[in-house]
Amino acid sequence: MKKLLKYLNPLSHLGDRKYSYLFPLIVNILLIVGSEIYVYIIAKNPLAVGNYIIFANVAFIIYFAFREGLWGGYISSIFSIAYYVYIIYSRHYTGLQKSAGIDTIIILAFLYLLLASIIGWLKQRIDVLIENEAYQRRRLEAIIEQLPVGVIVTDNYGILQLQNKQVKKILGLKLPRGYTFGKDTPLKNSTSEGRVVTPQQAPLAQVLSGRPSISGKEYVLKNKYGKAKYIQVSASSIRNNSRDIIAAAEIISDVTSQKEIERQKDDFLNLASHELKTPLTSLKMFVDLQKREIESKNFKKLDYYNIRISDQVDRLEDLTSDLLDVSRIQTGKLRINIETLDIAKLVKDTLDGIEDINNTHELEVIGESQLVQADGHRIYQVLVNLINNAIKYSPDKNKVLIKFYKSKNMVVVSVQDFGIGISPEEQDRIFDRLYQVSDLEEKTFPGLGLGLYISKEIINLHHGKIWVKSTKGKGSTFYFSLPIAKKKGNI
Ligand code: ADP
């Protein structure tokens, strides 16, 4: 029944632009047949066809013009006129009656066609307008749906009207239909500036109550495991020309990763200041001691102080050059100068350089001469970092193994230690900027967590790879590969 009423209701066809000829055709034929049955069988008087038919025809013209557009109205008009003509001839009208009848038919035909044209045209215009409106709305909804931020729109009572899929992703839940901002409890465990947010403090509730727009306000959402998610919210009310609030909209974005980067930057600044301060303090101490010796003309320890001062200056130089390298990487300005080099010689030079500072570990080398295409200074830097790490992170052992060998069209260099090792979860992350494994065992090792990050960038610039294999408690092997040089000087 509901379906039938919907089918017959002309309003339910607004905007669909589906026009049928069949329905008005059948109904108009039925009307004529019904009228003839009434006249001949019920009233038993062929002349009983009267004004009712004019009312019925006008009603049908209006109905079908509105339901089916121009042709619905025209079909009804044509059938009505045809029936009138049929009446005049079938009832054998003559003389004055006939000519008056024809005159009436001409006037009615004109009026019917005019009525059908006006209503049918209006109906078709309305259809186009409604369809355009629906298209614009669908387009807007598709755009909102695909925005990379969460969008929520409410009416002026705060009742949810629209939310895109990002909302669910960011908030971890889809707001239910009828959710009312200002009344329903906002997300559980949400806080702003350390305070729990009440329904009235929700940004949409605030702007709907007339407060000015809210821009970039931060909220912390805690999930059931207590993990914090940082979201940034901007909200604004929407007003009509008479400045009445008619709706409100909110944009939310997940800023957890930005927060994490900010936190890492702060940590890094603390760490860098600390790391820079340590050699500076020692430097100052040794310079003071040296000054005192010179004043007291007692030069016994002068050489010792000189060496210590030079160590601390070296440390400072290393730290600042690491910091400079990071900034070069970030600005895309780290460059390499490729030459053809013998990896065996490069490893030997590195070991010679490290010899002075290493008096704890035996550095064993296994490998044969192999020409690679590389920047000597930069690969020296990578090797020093890997070997220093191997020494630093194996304090209870006394051996580091350095190997190099050919593998396809690359030369692989490995640095193996038998020290504290790295857990599988940490293995991917140690190449990230500022990443330092931070379990209790390792807090005692100094460092900025930049060495591997810089090494990875250097190896990437060589189109090589850097990776690690490690077992916690047993030791680690760091590998990197460099392209083989075909023959000497072929660059
Ligand atoms: P740094 O040594 O200055 O902290 P790196 O970038 O060289 O920075 O190393 C990053 C992290 O990787 C270190 O903090 C350490 O936790 C881990 N790591 C590096 N090399 C080793 C190694 N050979 N054995 C165990 N852990 C290592």
Give the model's pLDDT for residue 490: 39
Contact 87, 32 (CB under 8 A): no
Give the model's pLDDT for residue 489: 44
Average pLDDT over residues 48-71: 92
| Percentage with pLDDT > 70 across the chain | 96
Using CA atoms, how far residue 428 sits from 53, 436, 469, in Å, is: 87, 12, 10
Strand (E) or helix (H) holding 232:
strand 228-239
Task: State the amino acid at position 428 in one-letter form.
Answer: D
Which residues face 340 on adjacent strands? 373
2, with CB counted inside 10 A (0-12, 13-18, 19+), is: exposed
Give the residue, out of 278, 321, 393, 459, with the most ligand 1 atoms within 8 A of its beta carbon, to mutate for a pocket test: 393
- Non-local (6+) Cβ contacts of 64 within 8 A are 23, 24, 27, 72, 73, 75, 76
Give the residue, out of 264, 276, 436, with the most ligand 1 atoms within 8 A of its beta carbon, to mutate for a pocket test: 436
The yes-or-no verdict on residue 38 having pLDDT over 80 is yes
416-464 pLDDT per residue, tens? 999 999 999 889 889 987 666 555 455 556 677 789 999 999 999 999 9
Distance (angstroms) between ligand 1 centre and the Cα of 425 equals 14
For ligand 1, atom 21, which residue shows the shortest CA distance? Answer: 389
Contact 208, 156 (CB under 8 A): yes
Tokens of 10: 């002309």
Dihedral pair phi/psi, residue 228, rounded to 5° = -90, 140
Helix axes 376-392, 343-355, angle to 10 degrees: 50
Evaluate: CB of 475 within 6 angstroms of ligand 1: no
Tokens of 160: 């949810």
The yes-or-no verdict on residue 390 having pLDDT over 70 is yes
The yes-or-no verdict on residue 6 having pLDDT over 90 is no
The pTM score is 0.57
Evaluate: CB of 430 within 6 angstroms of ligand 1: yes
Give the model's pLDDT for residue 73: 96
238-290 pLDDT per residue, tens? 999 999 999 999 999 999 999 988 887 888 788 788 888 888 999 999 999 99
Dihedral pair phi/psi, residue 191, rounded to 5° = -130, 155
pLDDT band at 107; cut points 50, 70, 90: very high
Evaluate: CB of 248 within 6 angstroms of ligand 1: no
Contact 353, 385 (CB under 8 A): no
| Range of lowest pLDDT (222-236, 373-387, 389-403) | 222-236
Give the model's pLDDT for residue 46: 86
- The number of residues in the chain equals 491
**Atom of ligand 1 at shortest distance to CA of 421?**
25
148-206 pLDDT per residue, tens? 999 999 999 999 999 999 999 998 888 999 999 998 876 777 777 778 888 888 999 99
